[in-house]
């Protein structure tokens, strides 16, 4: 079994017209650094769980992505973060939602899983749990970035609540008001290790200008994150409410387990057919128990990448794979 990791940094209206060559290079470089971290864990014989934790930790630390530092703004002008992790070997899972002071929500989700008593902790209870576990806390304005602030002000001015991060980014870049349906930036990772174990992790600031207290698909096991050694590990990004209604991540696993669909067919059924049928936009990354990787999306672009242990690292942004970077 050759270990493999795949990552995403969100889907949405990501077009060449909106990204300067320099920004595009920054994204490729950031994705490559993240992949490298996860790949190294796997090459050193580490668990899939540690590889996805490392990758999502790095994505949270990178202000380019809507998770940890760089999280989007709520309607109230604050930041509320969600994260989850799942171990395909045991079906153990942990998640936190609506946290406002944890530097790395993914580490809190992992602690919740390891603690084993609960699966999902929210708000102040989640923060108290993480503090007691010794995790780092930050003031809410730690997550601030100028780019997300501009996105939010623009969304506010146009009355566009609940925008996907990269959609809001495109909106902020437009000189004139644009139509309502353009633009998303959650992060995630899936991995298979040398022992055949699968794991998935997802982390987000949610959608721009969301209502305070809104929870998306990212911290909900089965919706934005799922892993089962028998089938697949999945991490999603997109319009969270539709992923929740479809239980999108688990649906991929169910199509494989109950219908016997191969990985790519199961993923495409969910992303290209079932989600659009209810107005769902976004994508997912998935790795199956044999190490196949599939990363479909129904938007213009999705920040993504994958790497096998000992292999080269591939990063991509747009639909056309010509933009691929190699590390
Ligand atoms: N799925 C995330 C949410 O709804 C947003 C995203 O993927 O950008 O919170």
pLDDT in tens, 174-229: 543 333 333 467 999 999 999 999 999 999 999 988 999 999 999 999 999 999 99
Q: 13-17, 105-109, 148-152, 204-208 — which one is most confidently predicted on average?
A: 105-109
Please tell me the residue having the least CA distance from ligand 1 atom 9: 206
Ligand 1: atom nearest CA of 282 is 7
Average pLDDT over residues 61-71: 91
List Cβ neighbours of 185 (8 Å cut-off, separation of 6 or more).
9, 10, 12, 65, 66, 67, 72, 164, 165, 166, 169, 204, 205, 237, 303
* Atom number, ligand 1, closest to the C-alpha of residue 224: 1
Top-confidence residue, 189 or 327: 189
Active-site residue, selected from the candidate residues 74, 182, 186, 299: 186
Q: What is the pLDDT of residue 309?
A: 97
Mean per-residue pLDDT, 89-98: 98
Residue 161 has a pLDDT of: 66
- State what percent of residues in the chain have pLDDT above 90: 74
pLDDT, average across residues 256-276: 98
Percentages helix, strand, coil for the chain (3-state, rounded to 5) are 35, 25, 40
Four-point Cα dihedral 271, 274, 278, 282, nearest 10: -10
What is the CA 217 to chain-centroid distance, rounded?
Answer: 10
Centre of ligand 1 to C-alpha 326, Å, is 27
Distance 2 CA to ligand 1 centre (A): 30
pLDDT-based confidence at 1, cuts 50/70/90?
Answer: confident
Q: For residue 94, which of 75, 111, 74, 69 has the smallest C-alpha distance?
A: 111
- Residue ranges lining ligand 1, Cβ < 6 Å: 10, 66, 164-165, 184-186, 204, 206-207, 216-218, 224, 237-238, 240, 282
Q: Which of 79, 237, 249 to mutate to test the pocket of ligand 1 (most atoms within 8 A of CB)?
A: 237
Q: Per-residue confidence at 324, pLDDT binned at 50, 70, 90?
A: confident
Per-residue pLDDT at 293 exceeds 70: yes
Mean pLDDT over 270-287 rounds to 97
Q: pTM to 2 decimals?
A: 0.92
Instruction: State the pLDDT at residue 185.
Output: 76
What integer pLDDT is reported at residue 173 of this predicted model?
62
In the predicted structure, residue 325 carries a pLDDT above the cut 80: no
Closest CA to 178 of 192, 188, 168, 164: 168
Across 84-96, b (16+ Cβ under 10 Å) vs e yields: bbbbbbeebbbbb
pLDDT of residue 164: 78
Contact indicator for 215, 122 with CB cutoff of 8 Å: yes
Active-site residue, 208 included: no
Q: Count CB-CB contacts under 10 A for residue 137.
A: 13
Task: Please report which helix (H) or strand (E) contains residue 61, including its range.
Answer: helix 48-61
Average pLDDT value over all residues in the chain: 91
Cα–Cα distance, 192 to 198 (Å, whole number): 5
- pLDDT on residue 181: 34
């Amino acid at each position: 079994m050759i270990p493999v990791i795949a990552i995403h940094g969100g889907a949405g209206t990501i077009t060449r017209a909106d990204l300067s060559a320099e920004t595009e290079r920054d994204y490729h470089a950031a994705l490559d650094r993240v992949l490298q971290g996860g790949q190294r864990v796997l090459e050193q014989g580490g668990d899939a769980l540690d590889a996805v934790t490392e990758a999502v930790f790095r994505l949270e630390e990178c202000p380019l992505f809507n998770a940890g530092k760089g999280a989007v703004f709520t309607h109230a002008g604050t930041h509320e973060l969600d994260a989850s992790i799942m171990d395909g070997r045991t079906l153990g899972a942990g998640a936190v939602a609506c946290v406002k002071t944890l530097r790395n929500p993914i580490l809190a989700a992992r602690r919740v899983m390891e603690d084993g008593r609960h699966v999902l902790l929210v708000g102040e209870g989640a923060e108290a749990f993480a503090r007691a576990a010794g995790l780092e806390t930050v003031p809410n304005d730690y997550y601030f970035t100028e780019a997300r602030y501009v996105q939010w002000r623009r969304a506010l001015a146009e009355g566009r609540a609940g925008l996907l991060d990269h959609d809001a980014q495109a909106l902020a870049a437009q000189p004139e008001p644009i139509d309502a349906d353009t633009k998303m930036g959650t992060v995630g990772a899936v991995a298979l290790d040398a022992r055949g174990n699968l794991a998935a992790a997802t982390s987000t600031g949610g959608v721009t200008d969301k209502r305070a207290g809104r929870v998306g698909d990212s911290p909900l096991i089965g919706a934005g994150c799922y892993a089962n050694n028998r089938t697949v590990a999945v991490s999603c990004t997109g319009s969270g409410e539709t992923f929740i209604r479809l239980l999108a991540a688990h649906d991929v696993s169910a199509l494989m387990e109950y219908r016997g669909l191969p990985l790519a067919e199961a993923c495409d059924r969910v992303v290209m057919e079932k989600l659009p049928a209810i107005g769902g936009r976004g994508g997912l990354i998935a790795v199956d128990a044999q190490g196949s990787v599939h990363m479909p999306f129904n938007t213009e672009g999705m920040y993504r990448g994958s790497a096998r242990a000992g292999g080269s690292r591939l990063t991509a942004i747009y639909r056309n794979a010509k933009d691929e970077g190699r590390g």
